[in-house]
Structure 1
């Protein structure tokens, strides 16, 4: 895990200084100290009380510092690190998903997670989710390198069954056809045009722009199992991205800051971050279903298949490898 260098820390402090500089008759807490408190709190995952003791600052002041500094960091960094994806961004993601994870026309891996929170005042049941705890929802898309390229954060935890993805700005734009994604592309090595698509799990409805696996009851052939394996292999990038996020910022976990090497690869996301439930209908449109079938058939051809897919996807089944 890489660590922030002194130069990077100083650079961040200078960026947020205009937002955090205070004017007071008393000597204010410095910007550098505010940033240090916030980063240590987020990275260690301990309590505001412990930071109050460590920095000799009142607990109520610590809470105010955390809120203001996080907001300032978002203001100065989000345009650089989470800009609105352009067609150039999508094109690069498509190229890398095919080269690294063998999934064509893929513009990213999509998933959502519940982030555990304390019950907000007067929120009633808005943040109370079906798993029995209070949360808000983080929806995100990752590129092929475990990097978030789009997020939507803050939806009520109680909306886990209510189309969190579909109600997001990107979800709405893709649904209306106004999303700035590349036009349909040829499947590599063929003359078949297919739309560019995200990959997601069973929680998402099947759309031309969101591919999900076949239901388990529909796994009637080797090709269906191969498709699910190939899609899962690409989709797990977002699972690992969330895992890396948790291992870096322990505030999202309750393991007292203990980092287990490689733990993020096992999809154990900790007690503060949990998979969301169903967010859309299971009824697939005919065109999206046909698109999925085309991909399934492509993965069984000499051009679209990879040698190891049969060993991985069909382990425990009678293998029928096409000639």
Structure 2
């Protein structure tokens, strides 16, 4: 039998021999598929050119009209334009504005209409989304910084929704994602799926004035808000909010029961402590807060990428969702009659003031935050809410509120 030393040397020689043997590289059958090389012939850009003679079809395809599309294209071109090389022609900005946000189709599926490989799409789409946010956000997602700007928002809420001193409607929604490997239950929410939370503040005109995205779905509702820069500044008192107005009421944000009651943050009364006056308050608050729920509904209806689980890297998901948010404001400002035609939002009957639900598809795919638990609110916060209760039941009352709050005139 060979000695132990000889066996060891034989094993060592075998290992060294394997290291010296170069692995044969699998030869690629072709550098690129022929039909992808013929992008000019097969690309969806040709269809887009044809659709210009059919404005309604162009709008359905791109979620905006031709003029608005080219305005957006001009704005993002400097950020996404690439140079041709000796090896190949670059993918131009016109080809990079892909319908991914409008459809949510996979990269493998999109390659057949764009004639761009999935590998290239995985770089192009996040890059384009970041460019859209970068060029649009300064103008179309402006957070108020002065008392005058906050008062303008409050004025619009009072004129449109008869809720005075409202600085914005706050809500959060869970956006379904495919979690990263080995993340366990870190992103798993109470609804039973993995998500990241979109926290937003809307004005009275269904526009977003603040957006925060990226908190993992497992975090509690209060924790989600606490992760935002907005809430940090709210607690520090550095938002330049106006103080008491002529009607004797302070200025405040409005939310649902998922959030904590504060002197500058109003929420409904729990059903267990309701009386007639508090029912009126809950109705009036719910009526004004509906705007942010409508915004989420429109986002999902117009940007189908939000309808199902987003299977991208986390930072790319952030780019996609933020691009959807800023595009919402951009389209609301420039082509609101096309982007949100009559019937898109929940509207009130002008005679009965009853709510008529808007026609939107897929809202349920963005799940709401969990209902909040009963918390011990400060006495100051309770006093502020009681001021609004008193106001809505006296000088601030409207003729239809008793009926729509479930009360008869004799009960009030």
Do the structures match in fold with TM over 0.5?
A: yes
The separation in 2 between residues aligned to 1:125 and 1:95, in whole angstroms, is 44
Please report how far the alpha carbon of residue 278 of structure 1 lies from its aligned counterpart in structure 2 after TM superposition: 4.8
2:375 pairs with 1:282: yes
The separation in 1 between residues aligned to 2:106 and 2:263, in whole angstroms, is 45
Q: Who is 1:293 aligned against?
A: 386
Please report how far the alpha carbon of residue 262 of structure 1 lies from its aligned counterpart in structure 2 after TM superposition: 4.3
1:244-283 to structure 2, matched below 5 A, reads 244-254=298-308, 262=343, 265=346, 266=357, 270-278=363-371, 282-283=375-376
1:25-174 to structure 2, matched below 5 A, reads 25-35=87-97, 37=98, 40-87=99-146, 88-174=148-234
Seen in structure 2, the aligned counterparts of structure 1 residues 103 and 264 have a Cα distance that, compared at 3 Å, is closer
- Matched residue SS, 1:185: coil
Seen in structure 2, the aligned counterparts of structure 1 residues 175 and 278 have a Cα distance that, compared at 3 Å, is farther
The separation in 1 between residues aligned to 2:373 and 2:230, in whole angstroms, is 15
Please report how far the alpha carbon of residue 300 of structure 1 lies from its aligned counterpart in structure 2 after TM superposition: 1.1
**Preserved CA contact (<8 Å) 2:257 2:372:** no
**Preserved CA contact (<8 Å) 1:222 1:314:** no
The separation in 2 between residues aligned to 1:169 and 1:280, in whole angstroms, is 23
Please report how far the alpha carbon of residue 85 of structure 1 lies from its aligned counterpart in structure 2 after TM superposition: 1.3
Question: 2:262 is matched with which residue: 198, 207, 225?
Answer: 207
The separation in 2 between residues aligned to 1:196 and 1:215, in whole angstroms, is 22
The separation in 1 between residues aligned to 2:144 and 2:129, in whole angstroms, is 23
Please report how far the alpha carbon of residue 225 of structure 1 lies from its aligned counterpart in structure 2 after TM superposition: 0.5
The separation in 2 between residues aligned to 1:122 and 1:263, in whole angstroms, is 40
**Preserved CA contact (<8 Å) 1:106 1:196:** yes
> Please, which runs of 5 or more residues in structure 1 have no aligned partner?
none
Seen in structure 2, the aligned counterparts of structure 1 residues 285 and 305 have a Cα distance that, compared at 3 Å, is same
Please report how far the alpha carbon of residue 5 of structure 1 lies from its aligned counterpart in structure 2 after TM superposition: 2.6
The separation in 1 between residues aligned to 2:289 and 2:410, in whole angstroms, is 24
Q: Who is 2:281 aligned against?
A: 227
Alignment deviations for residues 134-181 of structure 1 (CA, whole Å, 9 cap, x no partner): 111110011111111111111111113452112311111111211122
2:400 pairs with 1:308: yes
The separation in 1 between residues aligned to 2:191 and 2:77, in whole angstroms, is 41
Say which one has the larger Rg: 2
**Preserved CA contact (<8 Å) 1:161 1:280:** no
Give the alignment's Cα RMSD to 1 decimal: 2.4
Please report how far the alpha carbon of residue 276 of structure 1 lies from its aligned counterpart in structure 2 after TM superposition: 1.1
- Matched residue SS, 1:206: coil
**Preserved CA contact (<8 Å) 2:145 2:239:** no
The separation in 2 between residues aligned to 1:292 and 1:11, in whole angstroms, is 45
TM-score in terms of structure 2 length: 0.69
The separation in 1 between residues aligned to 2:409 and 2:283, in whole angstroms, is 16
- Matched residue SS, 1:109: strand
Higher share in helix = 2
Please report how far the alpha carbon of residue 253 of structure 1 lies from its aligned counterpart in structure 2 after TM superposition: 1.7
The separation in 2 between residues aligned to 1:252 and 1:286, in whole angstroms, is 40
2:296 pairs with 1:242: yes
Seen in structure 2, the aligned counterparts of structure 1 residues 269 and 279 have a Cα distance that, compared at 3 Å, is farther
Question: 1:195 is matched with which residue: 242, 250, 269?
Answer: 250
